[in-house]
Amino acid sequence: MSRAAARAGDFTADEMMTACAARALRDGMTCFVGIGLPSAAANLARATHAPDLVLIYESGTIGAKPGWLPLSIGDGVLAETADAVVSVPEIFNYWLQPGRIDVGFLGAAQLDRFGNINTTVIGSTYANPKVRLPGAGGAPEIAAFCREVIIIVRQSRRSFVERVDFVTSVGYGTGRADRERLGLTGAGPRKVITDLGVLEPDPESSELTLTGVYPGVTPEQVQAGTGWDLAVSGSLEVLAAPSAAELSALRALQAMTPDSEGSR
């Protein structure tokens, strides 16, 4: 989304992305949450339309209800407000791997047309990369076993590439049949939320397709920020800007966050 468009609507690109991600969450879902925009989106959803959304953080907190945006997965507010605190192995072995979590958020350094994610290395070889990235963490299991996955990443040709340099987390592999062939029980990426719009997998090919743009953004802008020939849906939507209620709730959470302006 252009800065001018954001200013005209009195909201930022991050706020647009967060609101869009929050709207994808339904009341009563179990949600595997990361820090940053995913945490902001999940907590915004819980503060607005999904009060019974169950937040699960990798540190072992289930049903956390923070009054502000946690600074890390180890933030004490998560354990203090959780329905239960379990071990990290239990989160993965009991909750995630058997498919008990409805939706998981993931980020990406690189993303390709089939939703495969690279967070490992940039460059042609693993041993001597141009850049060594933070790595996998729990992302491969989230991608494999959550019932659905939402990816949040800013749009650029650097991040949206024809082919990822390393497959850290499988989206749809080389096409629709690959997930079943690999034994991945989750549905895979259902939405890719960027700072320009939303991509979703084509029902037949599973190739990511532009299905929605933000106010003031054109399909051509999104295609220009994509490293492959991005298909555009015939029913492309202009997605609603964040509502006054969404912005108020999100900014209240941010204001309460320690070390932020106007914090507790």
User: Would you give per-residue pLDDT tens digits along the chain (264 residues)?
Assistant: 544 444 446 899 999 999 999 999 999 999 999 889 999 999 999 999 999 999 999 999 999 999 999 999 999 999 999 999 999 999 999 999 999 999 999 999 999 999 999 999 999 899 999 999 999 999 999 999 999 999 999 999 999 999 999 999 999 999 989 999 999 999 999 999 999 999 999 999 999 999 999 999 999 999 999 999 999 999 999 999 999 999 999 999 999 988 744 444
Task: Give the bridge partners for 151, in sequence order.
Answer: 106, 192
Q: Where are the domains of the chain?
A: 4-256
The sign of the dihedral angle between the CA atoms of 171, 176, 179, 182 is negative
C-alpha angle 97/98/101, rounded to 5°?
Answer: 80
Say if residues 66 and 78 touch (Cβ distance below 8 Å): yes
> Helix and strand tally (H, E) in the chain?
9, 14
- C-alpha 32/C-alpha 35 separation (Å) is 10
Q: Based on C-alpha coordinates, what's the Rg of the chain?
A: 18
Is 58 considered catalytic here?
Answer: yes
Q: Which of 41, 217, 186, 12 is nearest to 115 (CA)?
A: 186
| Beta carbons of 53 and 46 less than 8 angstroms apart | yes
- 230, 225, 108, 116: which is closest to 163 by C-alpha? 116
175: left (phi over 0), alpha (psi -120 to 50) or beta: left
Q: Which fold has domain 4-256?
A: Glutaconate Coenzyme A-transferase (3.40.1080)
Q: For residues 153 and 58, give the distance between their C-alpha atoms in angstroms, rounded to a whole number.
A: 20
Judge contact between 168 and 118, C-beta under 8 A: yes
CA 258 to chain centre: 24
- Annotated catalytic residue, options 58, 141, 207, 246: 58
pLDDT given for residue 3 in this prediction: 47
At residue 9, the pLDDT reads: 64
Place of tokens 């204001």: 255
